[in-house]
């Protein structure tokens, strides 16, 4: 065949493939989500998330030290609040000595150079499992009342020493309110990583097990469609990100990641800000489950899934695979 262009020439051996590879994943791109619990009991494994556990503060510090030594730049912290401290309004979120604030202070004392990201939402604190305050009808979330709580919550986290606050609630106007409240209290250096396009996804079940919001609601199928985004909508995600940027977000995030690669690309093309993506618990769990059945190669599927998220345009990736990636001697950085 007389072919002037033969693309396979650039695939014929490992050296050429590495030389011409377009997308690379770096250690610095990964953020490890971790779950913290109160008390001093041993780590509690999370059955739906193999390899993940709820950690007391002492064990959390040891885990963070190990990750930092492996080259991890940042962790995202999620508290597992004692059910006795939960109520319909999420009052414990405003306790300056709650579990999240205690953990942040302890981590910063031991690892001042590790970047800490704290979730800003009420679902770990509410007895109904929603991300905000329910109205009298018991169905609708009160947007403005919730935003007021979130802004105060963000200030408490900043005062504890967190580097980035990450509002994941999807209330309208919360980024602007949080930025204003932080600035008014002198926390001008605290960054906001906005969950700008967070979809009402079926992939969150294992996470809700981990933080106890599913148990609070009494169901894994907690309906958050009045505030999280419709999975069918694409243009709306660009609007949400634009609004968060206008209100002062320092970085924007898409959640979930794998099923929403088109959204990552759309938002990447609309902003020069850092774009993050969250490879959520369901994505992690399904890869593990398929590998346990022998249907997929765990490491190869893990690596490919993360590379795809990076290729779509994500600068930062929150993934439960971060520790495994950093610990794997076969991963090429």
Contact present, 27 and 73 (Cβ < 8 Å): yes
Look at residue 288 in the predicted model and tell me its pLDDT: 97
Distance, in Å, from the CA atom of 163 to the CA atom of 322, rounded to the nearest integer, reads 20
198 is catalytic: yes
Using a pLDDT cut of 70, give the percent of the chain over it. Answer: 97
Catalytic-role residue among 37, 63, 86, 255: 255
Q: What is the 3-state secondary structure (H, E, C) of the chain?
A: CCCCCCHHHHHCCHHHHHHCCCCCCCHHHEEEEEEEECCCCCCEECCCCCCCEEECHHHHHHHHHHHHHHCCCEEEEEEECCHHHCECCCHHHHCCCCHHHHHHHHHHHHCCCCEEEEEECCCCCECCCCCCCECCCCCCECHHHHHHHHHHHHHHHHHHCCCEEEECCCCCCHHHHHHHHHHHCCCCCCEEEEEEEEECCHHHHHHHHHHCHHHHHCCCCCCCCCCCECCCCCHHHHHHHHHHHHHCCCEEEEECCHHHHHHHHHHHCCCCCCEEEEECHHHHHHHHHHHHCCCCCHHHHHHHHHHHHHHHCCCEEEECCHHHHHHCCCCCC
**Residue 215 scores a pLDDT above 80:** no
61-71 confidence digits (pLDDT tens): 999 999 999 99
The model's confidence at residue 205, banded by pLDDT at 50, 70 and 90, is: confident
The neighbour count for residue 294, using CB atoms within 10 Å, is 7
For residue 125 the two structure tokens come to 């604190």
Nearest-5° angle of CA 308, CA 310, CA 312?
70
239-275 confidence digits (pLDDT tens): 999 999 999 999 999 999 999 999 999 999 999 999 9
Domains in the chain with CATH codes:
24-327 (3.20.20.70)
224 is catalytic: no
The model's confidence at residue 218, banded by pLDDT at 50, 70 and 90, is: low
**Residue 203 scores a pLDDT above 60:** yes
37-81 confidence digits (pLDDT tens): 999 999 999 999 999 999 999 999 999 999 999 999 999 999 999
Distance, in Å, from the CA atom of 122 to the CA atom of 169, rounded to the nearest integer, reads 8
Look at residue 333 in the predicted model and tell me its pLDDT: 81
Look at residue 221 in the predicted model and tell me its pLDDT: 57
Does this model's pTM top 0.75? My answer is yes
Catalytic-role residue among 37, 63, 86, 198: 198
Distance, in Å, from the CA atom of 267 to the CA atom of 289, rounded to the nearest integer, reads 31
């Amino acid at each position: 065949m007389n072919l002037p262009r033969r693309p396979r020439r650039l695939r014929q051996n490992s050296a050429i493939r590495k030389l011409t590879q377009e997308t690379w994943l770096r250690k610095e791109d990964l953020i490890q989500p971790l779950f913290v619990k109160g008390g001093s009991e041993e780590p509690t494994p999370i059955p739906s998330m193999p390899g993940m556990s709820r950690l007391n503060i002492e064990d959390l510090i040891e885990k963070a030290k190990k990750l930092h030594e492996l080259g991890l730049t940042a962790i995202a912290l999620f508290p597992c609040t004692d059910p006795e401290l939960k109520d319909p309004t999420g009052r414990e979120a405003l306790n300056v000595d709650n579990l999240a604030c205690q953990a942040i202070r302890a981590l910063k004392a031991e690892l001042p150079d590790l970047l800490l990201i704290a979730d800003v939402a009420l679902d770990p604190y509410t007895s109904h499992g929603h991300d905000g305050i329910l109205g009298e009808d018991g169905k609708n979330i009160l947007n403005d009342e919730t935003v007021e709580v979130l802004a105060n919550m963000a200030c408490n986290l900043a005062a504890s020493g967190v580097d980035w606050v990450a509002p994941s609630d999807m209330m309208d106007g919360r980024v602007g309110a949080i930025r204003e409240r932080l600035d008014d209290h002198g926390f001008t250096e605290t960054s906001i990583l906005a969950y700008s396009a967070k979809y009402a996804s079926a992939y969150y079940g294992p996470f809700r097990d981990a933080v106890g919001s599913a148990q609070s609601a009494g169901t894994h199928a907690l309906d958050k469609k009045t505030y999280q985004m419709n999975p069918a909508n694409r243009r709306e995600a660009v609007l949400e990100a634009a609004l968060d940027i206008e209100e002062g977000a320092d970085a924007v995030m898409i959640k979930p990641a794998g099923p929403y690669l088109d959204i990552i690309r759309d938002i990447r093309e609309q902003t020069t800000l850092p774009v993050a993506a969250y490879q959520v618990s369901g994505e992690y769990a399904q890869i593990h489950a398929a590998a346990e059945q022998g249907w997929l190669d765990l490491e190869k599927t893990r690596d490919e899934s993360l590379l795809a998220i990076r290729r779509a345009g994500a600068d930062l990736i929150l993934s439960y695979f971060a520790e495994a990636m950093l610990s794997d001697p076969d991963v090429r950085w």
